[in-house]
Amino acid sequence: MTTTDTSTRRRFRFRWILLAPVLAFIALSAWAFASPIGAGPDDDYHIVSIWCANGGSAECEPGSETNTRIVPNSFVRIACYAQVESRSADCSYEYLDDTTPMEIKRGNFAGEYPPVYYGVMHLFAGDDVQVSALAMRVFNAALFVGLATALFALLPVYRRRTLLWGWLVALVPLGMFIVPSNNPSGWAVTGVGTAFLALLGWFESTGRRRWALGALYLVGGVMAAGARGDAAVYVIGATVTAVILTAVRTRPYLISAILPVVGIIFAFAFFASAGQSGVASSGFTSGGGGATNPVAGDAGVEAPLSGFALAAYNLLMLPLLWTGVWGTWALGWLDTQLPSIVPWAAAGAFIVVGFAGIGRLDWRKALATGGTLLVLIALPVYVLTTGGDQVGANLQPRYLLPLIVLFAFLLVTDPSRGSGPTFTRVQTFVILAALAVANLVSLQVNIRRYVTGADQQGLNLDDGAEWWWRGFPVGPSAVWIIGALAYAGLVAVLWHQLRRPAALTSVEA
C-alpha cells in the first residue's frame, strides 16, 4: 500500500470520528425524551427548586413562612405515576395544566442543595412546564457532549482512550438516564469526570491547551460542587487523585498546583454551605423520603440491626449498591426494573475493561485507585450505619455514581502515559456489543414503563400507548430505535480510537 493510500484511509477514518459528538447527543437526547416530566428521583422537589431559584418566578411566589412557597398544583402532582410501575404517565395530563395555587415546604428553600444548578436551570423555566423541562434535559445532554468533545480535542493523545473507555463503561444505564435529566445528580456525574480528566491534562499539557484544560477543570468542579454537596467532596477526591498521579518535585509543578488548591477551596466552600453536609455526621436520619431498592425487598433481613452487626451487614451487601449503577436497581423513582441482561452486560463490560486497566499499574495508580475504592467502601457503610439504615434504603446508587465514574477513569488510566487498555478485535467487539445491548434494552424498558405501564409488554411501544409528549411528532418506538441506533453507531465510530495504538492516533490528531 502506498503512502498516499495510507494517508487517504486515515483522513477517511477521521471524518467518521467527527460523527461521535452528534451520535452521543442523539443517544442522550433519546433518554431525555424516554420519560415524562417528574420521572427522575425526587423530581417534584427539583422542579419546584428550579422554578423558585433566583428569587422565584411567576410560577413560584413566597409562602406564609420563610421555608414555604406557593406553586401550581401541577408541580406538586407532577410525578403522579411514581412508585407504581404498572401505572402509565397518562395521569400527568390531568395535572400538567393545573394552575391551582398550593403552598408547599418541599423544595430547596433552606439551602439544602447548592444554588448553581438550580440557578442555571432557572434560565430555561417558563410558563410551559413540559417545554421548559425538556429544554433543560436537552441542554444537559449537549453540555455533557460538549465537555467530553472539548476534552477529547485538548487532552494529550495518550489520554483519549482513558476518556472514552471511562465514560463508556460507567454510564449505561443509570448515567444515560440521569445525565440528560432534571436531576442535579446529572451535573455531579458530568462535573466530577470532567474535573478529573481536565486536571490530569492540565499537569501533562503545555501552551494554550493547558490553559483551556485548566478552565475546563474549574467548570467541571463548579458544576459538580454547585449541584450537590456530596459531589463537592468527590471533586476534592478527583483533584487529589489527579495530583497523586502527576506530582513531581519541581518549581513549575508547584506553581501549577495553585489551580487544584483553588479548586479544593471552592469545592469545600460549596460543601460547607449545603445542608446535605449534615448527612456525613448523622446519616439519613430524617426517616422520610427514602426509597427502598425493590430488588432487595424489605431491607433484606427479618430483624432490625444496629452497631457492628449493621455495619457488617452493610459491608457484605455493599456490591448490590455499586451494581445499581449498571442496572441491579430500578431506574426513576426505583420503579422501572430492568431485565437481568442489562446489569450482566453493563457490569461485565466494566469489569473486563477495569481488570485490563489494573494490568497497567504503578505505585501512584495503586495509591489513587486503592484510595478511591476505600472511599467507595467506607463512605456508604459509614453513612448508612450512622443513620441506622441498611443497604437498600435511602442511599441510592446515583449518589455514588460520580465516585464510580472517577474509579473507572483511574482504572483505565495508563501511568506510563501509554494508550491504556488494549483488546483484540473480538474482545473489543464483545465489550462494545454488550454496552449497546444494555443500552437498547434499558431504553426500551424505560419508555415502556411510562407509555403503558410495566404490566404491558411488546416491542411496539406505539401500540396501546397511554402517554406521550403532547405535540411531539416522533413516537415512542421511533425515539427508542433512533436512540439505540445512535448509541450503537457511537461505539462503532469509536472503534478505531479504542483499538489503534497511541502512536498511530497521534499522527492523526
Average pLDDT over residues 69-78: 92
Q: Within 13 A of 290's CA, how many CA atoms are on the CB side?
A: 20
Confidence of residue 307 (pLDDT cuts 50, 70, 90): confident
For 170-186, give one letter per residue: b (16+ CB within 10 A) or e. bbbbbbbbbbbbbbbbb
102 Ramachandran zone, left/alpha/beta (phi>0; psi -120 to 50): beta
Q: Looking at the predicted structure, is the pLDDT value of residue 281 above 60?
A: no
pLDDT (0 to 100) of residue 3: 55
Answer yes or no: is pLDDT of 277 > 70: no
Helix (H) / strand (E) element for 102: namely strand 101-104
CB 234 within 8 A of CB 192: yes
Q: What's the pLDDT score for residue 373?
A: 97
Q: How confident is the model at residue 384 (pLDDT cuts 50, 70, 90)?
A: very high
pLDDT over 50 (residue 297) = no
Count Cβ atoms below 10 Å from residue 327 Cβ, excluding itself.
28
Those residues whose C-beta lies under 8 Å from the C-beta of residue 467, and which sit 6 or more positions away, are 36, 88, 89, 90, 92, 93, 450, 451
Q: Which of 203, 189, 180, 190 is nearest to 150 (CA)?
A: 190
Q: How confident is the model at residue 2 (pLDDT cuts 50, 70, 90)?
A: low
pLDDT of residue 448: 97
High-pLDDT (> 70) share of the chain, %: 89
Among the residue ranges 6-15, 58-67, 82-91, the one predicted with the least confidence is 6-15
What is the SS3 assignment for 272?
Answer: helix
Phi and psi torsions of 422, nearest 5°? -125, 145
Whole-number average pLDDT of the chain? 90
325-337 pLDDT per residue, tens: 999 999 999 999 9
pLDDT band with cut points at 50, 70 and 90 for residue 62: very high
Q: Mean pLDDT over residues 2-29, rounded?
A: 75
Provide the pLDDT confidence category of residue 416 given band limits of 50, 70 and 90: confident
Cβ-contact 49, 118 below 8 angstroms? yes
Q: Are 326 and 175 in contact (CB under 8 A)?
A: no
Average pLDDT over residues 339-351: 98
Separation CA 161–CA 65 (nearest Å): 53
39-53 pLDDT, tens digit per residue, is: 999 999 999 999 999
Rounded to a whole number, what is the distance in angstroms from the first to the last CA of the chain? 22
CA 254 to centroid of chain Cα atoms: 32
Residue-level pLDDT at 474? 95
Contact (CB, 8 A) for 346 and 170: no
pLDDT of res. 273? 85
pLDDT in tens, 166-205: 999 999 999 999 999 999 999 999 999 999 999 999 999 9
Nearest to 375 by CA among 262, 234, 200: 234
User: Over 50: is that where the pLDDT of 441 sits?
Assistant: yes
Mean pLDDT across the stretch 440-465? Answer: 95
C-alpha cell at 312: 457488617
More confident residue, 136 or 93: 136
| pLDDT tens readout for residues 74-131 | 899 989 999 999 999 999 888 887 889 999 999 999 889 999 999 999 999 998 999 9
Average pLDDT score over residue span 348-369: 95
Return d(Cα 80, Cα 318) in angstroms, integer. 31
- Is the CB of residue 69 less than 8 Å from the CB of residue 103? yes
Task: For the sheet with 69-72, list strands across it.
Answer: 61-62, 69-72, 101-104
